[in-house]
Structure 1
Amino acid sequence: MLKKAYFFLLITGLVVVSTGCNNYSKILKSPDNTLKYETGVDLYENGNFKKALQFFDLLRTFYQGTEKGEKLTYYTANCYFQIKDYQLASYYFHQYQQMYPKGKHAEESAYLQAYCTYLDSPRPELDQTNTYKALQELQSFINRYPNSPKVGKATQLMDNLRKKLEIKEFKTAYLYYRMESYQAAITSFQNLLNDYPESDSKELYMYYIAKAYYDYADKSIVEKQKERFEKMVEAYNNLLFLFPKSKYLPELKPLSEKAKEHLK
């Protein structure tokens, strides 16, 4: 008996879904744009974003420049945002700003455009084009809406993106060091210090500069050693001055003493 009841409910559900799909297909083909608009908005408000997009795509051009057109453009952007297609969401949030610069969602769209690009930023190992683009868009949002309540969040997002770029640069510098490309490693670690002067990893970067200078000098021809050992001692002293309790000093101090022996 239970199996029959379950089978009946399943068939009923399938019939309802099929009927609903047929009705939507008929409305999509209908010349009645008002009906299409109302159906699309109803789907959107009930969270059926993919189906709503089918209606919005048909109607945006027809209603362009009107109040309904503004709503459709914003709803389209938010549909893509809700289904996590951040590239298209960013595109339509940008389009909303271009078409309706004084619209009631202009500020929100500027933030969400940048936020979508932020969400589309890949992990540090990959190409960071979208990361730089997100930084630019977030800064543009802050410049345009300096009093927005979203400025604090946008600033935090920018900090996150900069940290990602810093991680990528560190991995590159460390790879140079592991490959014994010491000059490239030293330059890369120095760039990290210059680009991120407030970094929590500053001590680590200074350690690698001193370590790389020592290894570089130790493996250099005699004529080049003096200058490179001098640089190592200087790098060690810089670390000692800024981080007198650094955990790296016990390792580097003997190397610094050896470097000084070479300088006598």
Structure 2
Amino acid sequence: MKKNVFKIWGMALLLVLMTGCAAEFNKVFKSTDYNYRYEYAKQCFAEGKYTRAVTLLQDLITLKKGTLDAQESLYMLGMAQYMDGDYESASATFKKYYQTYPRGIYAEKACFYIGQSLYEGTPEPRLDQTPTLGAINAYQQFLDIYPRSELRKTAQDRLYELQDKLVQKELLSAELYYNLGGYFGNINSNNESNYISCIITAENALKSYPYSNWRKEFAVLIMKSKFQLAENSSEDRRLERYRDAEDECYGFLNEYPDAKESELANKYIAKCKKVIKD
């Protein structure tokens, strides 16, 4: 019984405190003393009350334009939006800061956080990677402008991570083409075009990202697709495609002699030799 009483009193006290805080915030928000509102916004930011800081700063950045607080207020708005998880708005605010104050006090960090904000909002590899490309461009611009920045290492790491996400997107596309090729069965124009699309997608990815950690996975798809293309080929192109598949298998074994797929490559080679010999 006592525990329930204490719980009720605790909830009531919390409600009173929340009501009091809300009333105080509304009073500050309606105040015509802009300096007072600005100091309160800074206090909210320092205390981690980012939503309140954003609400106050969005109005104040216009009022503070041309004053000594102009740069700080705009940069703080961007950081409050970033910390509040509104990455799209944060990126736009940091971009506005950098464009307005390219030599400002916070210019370097603002330039970095344009990319950092976009980075936080990038989707998983299966989805459209337009935001990822935006983040890559932003980080690259930062590295070009501030090559000796203390944030350089972080920007480079993020850049590699984002590029890897693009590679994974291409790998998923290549895998989809390969799987669709098998889905349509034997000797089918859709089947053939899907295997060809898989090969083209994988080969282009290897050219675009030569140092990718996914090189072997692309190589496996190319090898398998070329063999399946030979298997499903019309008579007039059969030998040519089996020879191409055989060469691809040997190339795979040379580059990845210890790969678990080496057994499959040797199996393909044996089949290719038999067909070519006959």
TM class by shorter-chain length?
A: over 0.9
Q: For the residues of structure 1 that align with 2:250 and 2:12, how far apart are their CA atoms?
A: 80
* SS, match of residue 60 in structure 1: helix
How many Å apart are 1:12 and its aligned residue? 4.3
TM-score for both structures, normalised by structure 2: 0.88
How many Å apart are 1:156 and its aligned residue? 0.9
| Contact persistence 1:114–1:137 (CA under 8 A) | yes
Q: For the residues of structure 2 that align with 1:67 and 1:189, how far apart are their CA atoms?
A: 55
Q: 1:9 to 1:213 in 2, by over 3 A?
A: closer
| Contact persistence 1:77–1:89 (CA under 8 A) | yes
* SS, match of residue 61 in structure 1: helix
* Mapping for residues 9-28 of structure 1, pairs under 5 Å: 10-28=11-29
Aligned position for 2:102: 101
* Mapping for residues 72-151 of structure 1, pairs under 5 Å: 72-151=73-152
Q: 1:259 to 1:8 in 2, by over 3 A?
A: closer
How many Å apart are 1:9 and its aligned residue? 5.2
Aligned position for 1:152: 153
Q: For the residues of structure 2 that align with 1:38 and 1:254, how far apart are their CA atoms?
A: 74
Aligned position for 1:247: 260
For structure 1, list consecutive stretches of 5 or more residues without a partner in the other structure. none
Q: Deviations over 1:134-162 (max 9, x none)?
A: 11000000000000011111111111111
Bigger mean CA deviation after superposition, 118-127 or 33-42: 33-42
Q: 1:59 to 1:203 in 2, by over 3 A?
A: closer
Q: 1:56 to 1:201 in 2, by over 3 A?
A: closer
Aligned position for 1:36: 37
Q: Deviations over 1:90-116 (max 9, x none)?
A: 111111112222222111111111011
Which amino acid in structure 1 is aligned with residue 90 of structure 2?
A
Q: For the residues of structure 2 that align with 1:236 and 1:9, how far apart are their CA atoms?
A: 72
Q: Deviations over 1:164-219 (max 9, x none)?
A: 11111111101111111211111112122212222233223222212211111111
Q: For the residues of structure 2 that align with 1:13 and 1:262, how far apart are their CA atoms?
A: 81
Query: How well do the aligned residues superpose, as a CA RMSD in angstroms?
Result: 1.8
Aligned position for 1:213: 226
* SS, match of residue 105 in structure 2: coil
Q: For the residues of structure 2 that align with 1:103 and 1:13, how far apart are their CA atoms?
A: 43
Q: For the residues of structure 2 that align with 1:10 and 1:174, how far apart are their CA atoms?
A: 55
| Contact persistence 1:65–1:99 (CA under 8 A) | no
Q: 1:76 to 1:263 in 2, by over 3 A?
A: same
- After TM superposition, the runs of 4+ consecutive aligned structure 1 residues lying more than 6 A away are none
Q: Aligned match of 2:273 in 238, 244, 260?
A: 260
Q: For the residues of structure 1 that align with 2:142 and 2:13, how far apart are their CA atoms?
A: 51
Aligned position for 2:188: none
How many Å apart are 1:5 and its aligned residue? 5.9
TM-score for both structures, normalised by structure 1: 0.93
Q: Deviations over 1:16-59 (max 9, x none)?
A: 43233223212222222122112222222222111122221221
* SS, match of residue 197 in structure 1: coil
Aligned position for 2:245: 232
How many Å apart are 1:253 and its aligned residue? 1.3
| Contact persistence 1:107–1:145 (CA under 8 A) | yes
| Contact persistence 2:252–2:265 (CA under 8 A) | no
Same amino acid, percent of matched pairs: 27
* SS, match of residue 41 in structure 1: helix
